[in-house]
């Protein structure tokens, strides 16, 4: 354990699911269901092997129940022998009528308005940016109310961005402007929390060490 970790009670690893067929086909996935590709399953197994090699331990895995996240979680839970639970609140953005449509279909039939406040629904019937922020706040509160420990959360790129907004004290802006955090498939962020001081420490972001050749790993 690094010296800085001793003052933090919660170690939270935020992981985006492995590559899905929706990723390959370039669609707005949202709440639509897409399974992992063979590559996505390989990514998940590589991550499990990497964490085993690095002796990274988790007390609990919490996952979105959507198929691409669930399949990633099941591979990791089995390989790492960690208990797994599913939570609907970790699902991806509800993007309304955009779910499952290709980028071209959305551009042609559902063009993005020139101005969209944080309170306007996405895809006509989906969540607003503010809805996402509030849902992210609820899951973060649930995490910090859990017993001290190491938690792995498996979710989706869009929603994980809002979770980091909550942790880092960033407010949603118009047109989804402002900070954005990169989560590639099976990349992860590591965040520490100290409830006594209400301090968040972002230690890693978009970490894909398990998919990089050992000679090219970052220091």
pLDDT (0 to 100) of residue 5: 74
- Other CB atoms closer than 10 Å to residue 2's CB: what's the count? 7
- Other CB atoms closer than 10 Å to residue 56's CB: what's the count? 15
pLDDT (0 to 100) of residue 212: 83
Question: Which regions of the chain are under pLDDT 70?
Answer: 1-4, 213-219
Assessment of whether the complete model's pTM goes beyond 0.75: yes
Report helix, strand or coil for 34: coil
pLDDT (0 to 100) of residue 2: 66
What are the CA-CA distances from residue 159 to residues 15, 128, 156, 216 (Å)? 11, 12, 6, 30
pLDDT (0 to 100) of residue 214: 42
The second-level CATH assignment, the architecture, of 11-211 is 3-Layer(aba) Sandwich (3.40)
The two most distant CA atoms of the chain are separated, in Å, by 54
pLDDT (0 to 100) of residue 143: 97
The residue written with tokens 């669609």 in the block is: 27
Q: Which residues contact 62 (CB under 8 A, 6 or more apart)?
A: 84, 85, 86, 87, 90, 143, 151, 152, 153, 154
């Amino acid at each position: 354990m690094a010296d800085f970790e001793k003052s933090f009670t919660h170690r939270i690893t935020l992981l985006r699911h492995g590559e899905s067929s929706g990723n390959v086909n370039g669609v707005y996935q949202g709440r639509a269901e897409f399974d992992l590709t063979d590559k996505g399953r390989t990514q998940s197994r590589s991550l499990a092997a990497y964490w085993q090699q690095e002796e990274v331990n988790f007390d609990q895995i919490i996952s979105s129940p959507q198929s691409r996240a669930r399949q990633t979680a099941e591979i990791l839970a089995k390989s790492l022998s960690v208990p797994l639970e599913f939570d609907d609140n970790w699902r991806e953005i509800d993007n309304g009528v955009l779910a499952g449509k290709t980028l071209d279909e959305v551009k042609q039939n559902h063009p993005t308005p020139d101005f969209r406040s944080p309170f306007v629904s996405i895809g006509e019937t989906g969540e607003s940016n503010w809805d996402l922020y509030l849902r992210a706040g609820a899951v973060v509160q649930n995490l910090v109310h859990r017993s001290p420990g190491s938690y792995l959360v498996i979710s989706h790129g869009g929603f994980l961005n809002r979770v980091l907004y909550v942790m880092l004290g960033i407010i949603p802006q118009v047109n989804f402007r402002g900070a954005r955090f990169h989560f590639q498939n099976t990349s992860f962020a590591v965040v520490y929390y100290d409830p006594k001081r209400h301090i968040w420490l972002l230690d890693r972001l978009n970490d894909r060490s398990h998919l990089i050749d050992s000679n090219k790993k970052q220091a």
